[in-house]
A and B are shown apart, each in its own frame.
Chain A
Amino acid sequence: MSATSTSRVTLEVLYAIAAGALFGVGLVVSGMSQPEKVLGFLDVLGGAWDPSLAFVMVGAIGVAFFGFRAARSRATSASGAPIALPRQTGITPSLVLGAVLFGIGWGLVGLCPGPSFAAIGAGHLDVVFFVVALLGGAGLVDLVRHVASVNASRGEDA
């Protein structure tokens, strides 16, 4: 590994720790790290609706809108890594099916990926069950997609 790429990885790691720490504090301060608060937000029809988490979205988007606007006009980030914004725009069946499955899992317990890591930090060690299953589920999708693409390329060869 060259000296430049070593220092770039070091910078990436330091910036990532800082960004992760900001994210973690934001999750706790906002109430997102408390599953009962998330369930209270999703329970729109229950008569005791807690709309707080809408304010999380407003605060986050209000800031990040300008962050991504600044990012759009740059090709390279401060660490030297290229700025890789998503290019997909299609409304695909897998997007919709994935969002449905995610929403069901989210509504069952009140945990989505960020808050699940925050909950472990806060000492809820049983959430490790959730995170391991989450990683396993994501890995399963990657595996199925990989096998499907290998089979597809074999089909082309034949």
Chain B
Amino acid sequence: MNEAAFTPVASLIGGVLIGLSATLLVLTNGRIAGISGIAAGLISSSDRAWRASFLGGLVAAAGLASWLLDLGRAPWSSGPGVLVVSGLLVGVGTRLGNGCTSGHGVCGLSRLSFRSLVATLVFMAAGIVTVTVVRLGASP
């Protein structure tokens, strides 16, 4: 285990904020805080106002929080090609599977949805396998 990188308290607090966001959105707008669905609906749905507002609030607040916590300086190690390939896989996959880490992993599991549990276990497993294969390929 990597003790130096382990941040249980900050991660728990951040998680609580995400849970509060999902609670707020469902009780005020009746919507699931699933980011892949909110974003994809910008193209395919007619109710763009709340979607763009949610994502705008997310981008602005994340920028402000990163600046205040001085996290914005981390170097980026992925090239544009890898970013496009992974973005395509994430876009196609979350649309086919109707959700991502937030929609299935947070909201679906909070609703005790078995469908979301299956999706979460499958994408976690696929992520673990991918990271392992990439690491083995990088350092044979």
A interface vs B, CB < 8 Å? 9, 11-37, 39-40, 42-46, 48-68, 70-71, 74, 76-79, 81-86, 88-91, 94-109, 111-114, 116-124, 126-127, 129-142
Majority SS of interface residues in chain B?
A: helix
The count of A-to-B residue pairs whose CB atoms sit within 8 angstroms is 504
Most buried by A among B33, B49, B90, B95: B90
B76 to chain A, nearest CB (A): 6
Interface of chain B residues 17 through 57 with chain A (CB within 8 A): 17-33, 35-36, 39-40, 42-44, 49-51, 53-57
Name the A residues within 8 Å of B63 (CB-CB).
24, 121-123
Residue in chain A with minimal CB distance to B59: A121
- 4 smallest CB-CB distances across A and B, nearest first, come from A30-B14, A137-B91, A98-B97, A103-B126
Most buried by B among A43, A57, A99: A99
With A and B bound together, what is the CA distance between A141 and B92 in angstroms? 6
Query: Would A135 and B39 be within 8 Å (CB), given that A23-B33, A95-B115, A102-B89 are in contact?
Result: yes
Name the B residues within 8 Å of A59 (CB-CB).
11-19
B interface vs A, CB < 8 Å? 1-2, 5-8, 10-33, 35-36, 39-40, 42-44, 49-51, 53-67, 69, 71-72, 74, 76-78, 80, 82-98, 100-102, 104-115, 118-120, 122-132, 134-135
With A and B bound together, what is the CA distance between A66 and B62 in angstroms? 25
A86 near B32 with CB under 8 A, answer: yes
A69 to chain B, nearest CB (A): 9
B96 near A129 with CB under 8 A, answer: no
Give me 9 other A-B pairs in contact (C-beta within 8 A), A95-B115, A103-B122, A118-B66 excluded.
A19-B57, A29-B13, A63-B19, A68-B23, A77-B26, A96-B97, A114-B101, A133-B88, A134-B88
